[in-house]
Each structure stands twice: as C-alpha cells, then as structure tokens.
Amino acid sequence: MTTPPKVTVLPYDESSGKPFGPATIEHRTAQAGFSRLGTYFMNFPDGGHADPWRLEYEESIYVISGEASMLVVGDGGETELRAGAGELIALPKGSTVRYGGEPGTRLLLSIAPVDWATRDSAAEEPGAAPRVLFLTPFHFEKPEHDDEFDAVLTSLLTGHGNQIVFAQHVEPFESEDADYDEAQTRAILKAVEQANAEQYDAVVIACHYDPALDEARAVSRIPVVGPLQFSASVALQFGPRFAVITDIPEAVPVIRGLVDDYGHEAACVGVSAIGWEGDAILEDPLGAAEAVDRFVAEVAAAGEAQSVVIGCTIVSSAYERHRHRFADRGVVVLNSNLVTLKGAAALAAN
C-alpha cells in the first residue's frame, strides 16, 4: 500500500525571520522540505528598498497589504514598478530587482526552483557544467554576516556562464590559543580536500591575500585559484599598467608584496585602501562602493593605469551591487570575483 504524501500546516516561526536590507524575510516552506517551490513572507516595517538582487529562478509576489515598490534594474538605470494590496507581480528568471515597499507592506513570495543555488544544472542541461567552490577563508566579526555574504556572492556570481557556483566559508578556526595563519591554512586544506572528495571541478580561495594557495594546490587534483594572482594577470590584458584597491590600510603592504612576488611590480602603479572593515561593508555596501568609485575617478584623472583590480572579495561584491550607479570613468574596473570564477571554470574544462 502506497503511503500518501504528508500534508501539513506550516505555522509562523519568529526565529526563522532574517534581515534582508530594510525588510525581514521568512522562508515558510523550509519546514516542509520542498525541493521545487519556495514560499516566503517579506515585511517592510519602516519601508525602503533592498540592494539589487538577480533572480536565478521564476518568482511571483502577491501584495498582502500596503504597497510594493519594485525597482527593476536595467542598462538604462532603475524603473519603478508599484503594486497595491491584492495585486500580483511576476518576475522572470534573469531579472535584477530591488525589493521595496511602503512602511507596513507585507508580501507573499513564491519562487521556483527553490534550490536554485545548489541545483546541479548539469543533470538538466546537455554538457557538463563545472562546479566551482567559492571558498571564503575567514569569518566576519558578526556571525550572521557569513551566511549573508555567501548569499550575496551566490546572487552576484550565478548566471554568468554555465558554471555552477557554491559560495561557502571554511569551518571556524579562529582561536586565541592558535596561530591565525597556521589555523587558517589547516581550515583551507580541509575544505579543499573535501571539495576534491565531493567531486567539485575547481576551487577559488576567496580572499585576495591568496592564503595557503601553494599548499592547497599541492593537495588538490582540481584547479585552485587565487583571486589576486589571477585578476592581476587578467588586468594586463587591458593595458600595461593597473592599480589595486582593497579594504583596510593593513592590507596594502600584503597586497603590494604579493603583486610584486607575482612579477607585476613594474605594472602596478599602486595599492590603496578605502578604509572599511568587512562587517561595515556588508552593512553599507553603497557607501563602500562610492568609496571605490572615488578611487577609480582618481586613477582615471592620474592617467597612469588602464584598469583597476578590486583586491578584496567583500569590496568587489559591494561595488558590483551598485556598479550601475556610477559613470564610466574611462578605466576598466575588474569584477575580480567574477573574473576569478570564470578563470576557475575555464581551468576546470581542461
């Protein structure tokens, strides 16, 4: 006798709500374990708009109460789409939007497939899509920022080619009793070995310090890519000289030393920092992006470099979330996260 599917009522779980810019979002059907359909509640207690989000799935939004204000991001800027209570918004896959609403707005979101971030599209599409692990080898001061950063990276990096990206952090390793570099290296090597065992096709060590890069390559049968080493080489395809911008002043000598060690001492006109810590960047990505844009403008005015490498995965993600806001300064600003991902996927194909 066949057991019938279990039909359930899914209660509200206050602990499952997570911040999403000015909104809170609750994945209600997570309790049911659905693999295709995801249903969410999104609330805007004080109104406002979230940062741009690219949809790698189809989505409908029902306005329960209040008034939704969706900013659709395109080549010509942002177009506002408003909907009142009882109306339905349909968003096709590939859209980039900024979710928003008036104070008190409550929305019901349905997406499919809900497992878009981990779905093995190679099983659904002809050809083998390379699976790339985008491995962050550090942790934020605020623990909730780890998951938030993984989600931001997944959104920004998905849909640019046929590679499948999985953004995650190494296991926690920070301890007052252990040497940071040694503990970080052990955590990276464990994650890289696990990626090999789980049949990934390439690994990106998502930090422009390129930590444990040589050691990771020594234990891996798949390509292991360092974003600074790779993106600095790519920058030379746009001209003979480039500049680098990173997050904090303490990173400047480290990045400068690595660039020189990679053989680009003469090509790099300088390394500068925007002076923002990682947690602050996640909390105010637009402010960090504006700091990058000011630096790009200075590089363009100096006229020495043809490109800019954003030498920090967090800074690069903040800039890419708001790149559409800034004027073309006449120099190439490399999306070092995406450049490195594509490089890893290309190496995996060989």
Reported as a single tens digit per residue, the pLDDT across 90-103 is: 999 888 899 999 99
Least confident range from 2-16, 247-261, 275-289, 334-348: namely: 2-16
Q: If we measure between CA atoms, which residue out of 39, 41, 47 comes closest to residue 21?
A: 47
Strands 268-273 and 224-225: unpaired
Query: How many CB atoms lie under 10 A from the CB of residue 56?
Result: 18
| 126, pLDDT greater than 50 | no
| 51, pLDDT greater than 60 | yes
- Whether this prediction's pTM lies above 0.85 is answered by no
Token readout for 139 is: 């942790």
Cα 208 to Cα 272: distance, rounded to the nearest angstrom: 14
Contact 42/23 with Cβ under 8 angstroms?
A: yes
Query: Residues near 332 by Cβ (< 8 Å), separated by ≥ 6?
Result: 235, 238, 239, 306, 307, 308
Backbone angles phi, psi at 167, to 5 degrees: -95, 125
| 134, pLDDT greater than 70 | yes
Contact 97/53 with Cβ under 8 angstroms?
A: yes
User: How large is the average pLDDT for residues 146-167?
Assistant: 85
Contact 214/205 with Cβ under 8 angstroms?
A: no
| 121, pLDDT greater than 50 | no
Contact 58/93 with Cβ under 8 angstroms?
A: yes
Residue 161: its pLDDT value, please? 78
| 124, pLDDT greater than 50 | no
Backbone angles phi, psi at 19, to 5 degrees: -70, 140
Query: How many CB atoms lie under 10 A from the CB of residue 245?
Result: 27
**Mean per-residue pLDDT of the chain:** 90
DSSP 29: G
Query: How many CB atoms lie under 10 A from the CB of residue 47?
Result: 16
Cα–Cα–Cα angle for 49, 52, 56, nearest 5°? 125
| 123, pLDDT greater than 50 | no
* Token pair 């090999």: residue: 196
Name, of 4-8, 48-52, 273-277, the range with top average pLDDT.
273-277
Q: What's CA 62's distance to the chain center, in Å?
A: 27
